[in-house]
Structure 1
Amino acid sequence: MTITPRLVAKYAIPDRDGAHTYLDPTGPVPRLEVRSPESLRIYELREQAELRAEFPAPTPNRWSRQWVAPDLSFAVFGAGTEYVAVAPDGTRLWQQPYGTWEVSRWGYLDFSGSAGGADRELRIWLRLPSGLSDSTLFLTLDAAGAVLARSVLPCGGYERFVSLLWDENDEVSGVTVAGGQAAATHFEARWESGGIVLGRQLPPGRGDLLRNEREYLGADSRNARCMTVDRRRQDVSWHSLPSYRVTATLGLSDFPAPGTGDCSVHNDPQISTFSGFVDDDTAMVTLYNPYDEAAVYVFGHERWREHSHWLADPATGALHGRIEYPMAEVDTVMPVGDGTWITEEWDAVYRWRR
């Protein structure tokens, strides 16, 4: 069964040549980030794409990561081996060297507090190399870039991803270390006497064990159900929270056979991580071909990989049908969670509803 979606909006991407795009559906309004060698532009996707902020790149062609302050007053660019904060007019507000590591690979930045709020001042949290193989350095900065604290944590180290966890009051509550061959580990942590104090390592819970075997695809708006895909890309499952008990599963064998019917574009499909909740009662599941064997062996490089998008019932795992778009070769999809999803063509972003 095919499903013809209804087009909600089309957002043209200005000055698309040479730019990379990133969709962020997590806020109250989905955002589109357009990154070119010269600038970072942030659009809110409402009835039209509204430009909310633009930041000139501190060094054209050298930056590869960026983080934007909650009030869009400045952006921090990962430029080579340093963090550089830039105002919308291009003024460099502050910069922090990152040592010999590349920010694009191991850098981490987070914000806490409300920007300009009376009760909580904005804080910036930067991860830097500590110089020790088994430790991580965090700097805590104010909005002006002044260093408020240096915290050396006895965890992490080289080639590990280290990030902070936050409680409901926007306070540091833990640290996560991931990457390498070992499973992710979690530690208690707290802000005390002007620094981060690491606590005990937490035993793995059911969610940790599940996520080490599967990849997390998100939760519904009520945080009552989450969705995962196994690391071999053979099935998706839905779990009740907080127990992570499996309530429904959808495997590749539940789709039409490869090369037949609505799976006629696939020869060896796998389930993509571009899957998730369209809303609390509808999930998007994306299939893709890993590669085109003829292109790999004959031409020496991969060709475009065929994708198909399917809607399913997260309560039962039953398929509703395949989305049939009016254009061909639609690959990237981003469920928003409000009943819509977003796809991207070269020069435009499209928002759809069933």
Structure 2
Amino acid sequence: MSARARLRATVPALMPSTEAGPPEIVGLPGGRMLVQRSDDEIVAQPLDDAFVAQPDASVRFAAPWPRHRGTWEVSPDASVAVFAGVHAVRAVEPSGATRWEVRHGCWYGACRETHASYDEYADRQDHRYPDGGSVGFSADGRLVWAHVRGPLPGGELSPDTVDEWLVLDAENGRVLARADAEAAAAGSFHLPHPTDPRQMGLSIGEGQDGAPLRWGRWDGKELTVDCLDSDLCLLSVSPSGERLMTVSHDQDSLAVRDSRGAVLEAWEWNAEATIPRHPDAPSGDDGELHACWDWAGGFVDETALVVSTADSDDEWGPMRHWLIDTTDARECVPVDYPSPVRSQPSARGKGTWSTLSESRDALHIWELDTRKD
């Protein structure tokens, strides 16, 4: 038994793959955007509900530093882009003007300087491969949550704090709240609650040391941080915001949890017990041959997940994607595509997901094909 995928749309990239990172779709249904980042700028283009781009509404944001020196996010209304860099978080308007900047400690681990600008370390060999943080907009775009290297100058937290989690006013960059992230990150990313702008998820990677998962709640006065686990990667938040999709750091366990971190109704799938061995893998009892979940996928709707095992499949042959319906028998069903797919999936909501074309010049939008032969 398999689930047949039907191609719903193809969305061309905004810039050549030789000049920019891969195209991405961000935002929720009704407010999706196609975005792409080069070293010099971010281009954002609204998409309608059929994933058709609106070229006349394109917005460009000048980048303050190259794309390998940090992460970035565009606000839900495309009025501002925020760049999380090595030494600062900076908000940039379409005009190119800096709306605000919050400086923080340097993400290069051995550096104890508080840099005033990117130019101070742009050509330094020891700063070529720094660790990094991330930023995320709240669902309404009014808040920016920022994971930064601490401590901030003149801060409230201990000077020994390694990583901080900030809540910022998106309009002026004012620090509204701060908390110790209780981590030493190599990288991170944010996933917002889709309906409640006061909640945010933060998935942190510490390399081989672990993957701390944090869930934040801001009540207008106080930031409360739940430390959900030290070894989980947050992949997706359901449309209601009531469910989290996670994969363990060792990629053995996929689970659906509540926002407090508890597994819901035994919705947990062990990779070795759930996923059949790749048909092209050699026979034998070697435990190293079993598939592992990717750190990719998400909720295609409130109860269905799209996941993949591309990383472990790649050694043996075609990569595999899977659909899981949590309301049914909780079975992991392989996805059958009309043509080969060579990337991991990203959930887009309302029953859709996307994959990157092999040439990295387009995104393919898929949905379940329910037509009968």
Q: Would the TM-score normalized by the shorter structure come out above 0.5?
A: yes
1:283 maps to amino acid = L
Contact 1:269 1:287 in 2 (8 A): yes
Which residue number in structure 2 is paired with residue 350 of structure 1?
A: 364
Which residue number in structure 2 is paired with residue 38 of structure 1?
A: 40
Contact 1:220 1:226 in 2 (8 A): yes
Corresponding position: 1:247 with 2:269:
no
* Superposed CA offset, 1:67-106 (max 9, x none): 3234322212234423333221323334443343369744
Determine the C-alpha separation between the residues in 2 that align with 1:252 and 1:50.
44
* Superposed CA offset, 1:296-350 (max 9, x none): xxxxxxxx98521122322322244332231x34222112221111111111111
- Deviation (angstroms), 1:57: 1.8
Which residue number in structure 1 is paired with residue 74 of structure 2?
A: 68
Which residue number in structure 2 is paired with residue 49 of structure 1?
A: 53
> Which ranges in structure 1 are unaligned for 5 or more consecutive residues?
116-121, 294-303
Which residue number in structure 1 is paired with residue 251 of structure 2?
A: 233
1:218 maps to amino acid = S
Query: Secondary structure of 1:233's partner?
Result: coil
Q: 2:335 aligns with which of 322, 327, 334?
A: 322
Q: 1:258 aligns with which of 275, 278, 281?
A: 278
Q: Structure 1 residues 43 and 285, CA, compared in 2 at 3 Å: closer, same or farther?
A: same
Q: Alignment length, in residue pairs?
A: 319
User: Larger Rg: 1 or 2?
Assistant: 1
Q: Structure 1 residues 305 and 26, CA, compared in 2 at 3 Å: closer, same or farther?
A: farther
- Scaled by the length of structure 1, the TM-score of the pair is 0.68
Which residue number in structure 2 is paired with residue 18 of structure 1?
A: 19
* Superposed CA offset, 1:191-229 (max 9, x none): 55xxxx677x86x7xxx3xx4455444354345655443
- Scaled by the length of structure 2, the TM-score of the pair is 0.65
* Superposed CA offset, 1:21-42 (max 9, x none): 3534552243332011121012
Listed as ranges, the matches of 1:32-181 within 5 Å are 32-46=34-48, 47=50, 48-51=52-55, 52-59=58-65, 63-101=69-107, 105-109=131-135, 111=137, 122=142, 127=148, 129-130=150-151, 132-134=159-161, 136=164, 140=168, 143-145=171-173, 148=174, 155-156=180-181, 159=184, 170=197
Which residue number in structure 1 is paired with residue 302 of structure 2?
A: 280
Contact 2:10 2:364 in 1 (8 A): yes
Determine the C-alpha separation between the residues in 1 that align with 2:190 and 2:307.
29
Query: Secondary structure of 2:22's partner?
Result: strand
Q: Structure 1 residues 164 and 321, CA, compared in 2 at 3 Å: closer, same or farther?
A: closer
Determine the C-alpha separation between the residues in 1 that align with 2:191 and 2:307.
30
Indicate the percent of aligned positions where both proteins have the same amino acid. 20
Contact 1:291 1:305 in 2 (8 A): yes
Higher strand share: 1
Which residue number in structure 1 is paired with residue 353 of structure 2?
A: 341
* Superposed CA offset, 1:139-169 (max 9, x none): 8556245xx558675x347835799999987
Listed as ranges, the matches of 1:299-314 within 5 Å are 306-314=318-326
Q: Comparing 127-136 with 34-43, which one deviates more in the overlay? A: 127-136
Corresponding position: 1:9 with 2:9:
yes
Which residue number in structure 2 is paired with residue 269 of structure 1?
A: 291
- Deviation (angstroms), 1:239: 5.3
Query: Secondary structure of 2:349's partner?
Result: coil
Q: Cα RMSD over matched residues?
A: 4.5
- Deviation (angstroms), 1:125: 5.8
> Which ranges in structure 2 are unaligned for 5 or more consecutive residues?
109-117, 119-129, 153-158, 369-373
Q: Structure 1 residues 291 and 61, CA, compared in 2 at 3 Å: closer, same or farther?
A: same
Query: Secondary structure of 1:49's partner?
Result: coil
- Deviation (angstroms), 1:233: 2.5
Q: Structure 1 residues 164 and 98, CA, compared in 2 at 3 Å: closer, same or farther?
A: farther
Determine the C-alpha separation between the residues in 2 that align with 1:253 and 1:310.
15
Determine the C-alpha separation between the residues in 1 that align with 2:311 and 2:333.
21
Which residue number in structure 2 is paired with residue 300 of structure 1?
A: none
